[in-house]
Amino acid sequence: MNSNNSISKAVKILCDGGLVAFPTETVYGLGADAMNSRAAERIFQVKKRPRNHPLIVHVSSIYLAKKIVINWPKQADDFANKFWPGPMTLVFKKNNILPECVTAGYDTVAVRIPSNITAQTLLKEFAHSGSGYVAAPSANIYGSLSNTSYSDVRAAIGKNLTTSDLILEGNGCSYGVESTIIDFSSKRLAILRPGSITRNNIQKSLGLNIQETELNKSTPLVSGSTKRHYCPKTPLYVMVYPELVKRLGELLMKNVSNKKFFYWGFKSFTEISSCLNQEIAPDNAVDYAKQLYLKLNELDRKKYECIFFESPPKNAEWEAINNRLEKASVQL
Ligand code: AMP
Ligand code: MG
């Protein structure tokens, strides 16, 4: 838990145009005052993020969210009341209050109220002493693994920050994958990115069945929607068990130079080899999601030749995880 002292320091940094990386219930965010275009610009520099990828704006209240939006449909109240604070991002047509760079020139804005206690305290204090709007994408280098711990954030972007920036230590990211993004800006309600809150959760809570989303040309060119994303440095292969037995089995048999491999799956890998380390993965989506980026970051540090994950089940509970694994893995 953070002391009041470090939150006050973080708020001062945001007010002064610096960057603050902070834990949320999804992944760590890299935050700047969304009303200060120079500060928001630095997020793109530090992350090496293309300027045409808009940033999610984090706030502490529905009141603040509504102030940057035109056309807040009635149905959005149901989502906000049910899922905020929490891992749900809502996209609306925006008004002209936010600087252009935050929304990458699009006429929409993505907004969220996180539930993580550190994030909430920071946003509430910043609503008192500053603008109250914090633009924050994931605290990582564009396209690479998201981070869910202080030490992984420091290792990933620490060297790109200055002494006027800060990484807040805080309670872990309890969901572990990014937020679910719901688009209210077009005629039809759509999920732009599957995330911590599943279609089933939405169905159960609001009785709404949101269909598979077709991303089209007018959908913002967004990070999570590119084909390759969330990538570890080590090649990652995700396959069903029989295929794994074949490919990894062959690799181990031909492995004259003693390269090291890692397997993470739901049952143990039967081939015994001193070149293979293996661990059993959680068989429920909630625990799996919580561990995913921690595990991939850990495996990257261990410098395996390549890593093999057994494909998770293909149902709604695992949708966000399958989405991240598909983008993070080598496609054969
Ligand atoms: P991240 O890179 O994790 O911060 O996620 C950014 C995601 O938020 C993007 O991939 C978009 O799906 C969504 N997003 C952010 N800003 C906007 C916007 N102005 N309009 C539509 N979607 C947005
Ligand atoms: Mg990201």
DSSP string of 35-62, one letter each residue:
T-HHHHHHHHHHHT--TTS--PEE-S-H
220 C-beta closer than 6 A to ligand 1: yes
| 112 beta partners | 58
Residue 222 CA to ligand 1 centre (angstroms): 6
**pTM tops 0.75:** yes
Q: Which helix (H) or strand (E) holds 22?
A: strand 20-22
The one-digit pLDDT tens for each residue of the chain (332 residues) are 566 689 999 999 999 999 999 999 999 999 999 999 999 999 999 999 999 999 999 999 999 999 999 989 999 999 999 999 999 999 999 999 999 999 999 999 999 999 999 999 999 999 999 999 999 999 999 999 999 999 999 999 999 999 999 999 987 789 999 999 999 999 889 999 999 999 999 999 999 988 766 555 455 555 556 667 889 999 999 999 999 999 999 999 998 889 999 999 999 988 878 999 999 999 999 999 999 999 999 999 999 999 999 999 999 999 999 999 999 999 87
109 C-beta closer than 6 A to ligand 1: yes
CB atoms within 10 A of CB 213: 18
Q: Which of 30, 56, 133 maximizes ligand 1 atoms within 8 Å of its Cβ, making it the mutation to test the pocket? A: 56
Instruction: Give DSSP secondary structure letters for 159-203.
Output: GGS-TT-EE---S--SS-SPPEEEE-SSSS-EEEE--SS-HHHHH
CB-based contact 11:129 (threshold 8 Å): yes
Q: Which residue has the tokens 């077009």?
A: 186
Residue 137 CA to ligand 2 centre (angstroms): 6
Walk me through the domains of the chain, giving residue ranges and CATH numbers: 4-206 (3.90.870.10), 236-328 (3.40.50.11030)
What is the C-alpha to C-alpha distance for residues 259 and 271, in angstroms, rounded to an integer?
15
Ion ligand 2, residue ranges at CB < 5 A:
138, 223
Contacts of 128 (CB under 8 A, 6+ apart): none
Burial of 258 (0-12, 13-18, 19+ CB in 10 A): exposed
Q: Which of 89, 144, 226, 231 maximizes ligand 1 atoms within 8 Å of its Cβ, making it the mutation to test the pocket? A: 89
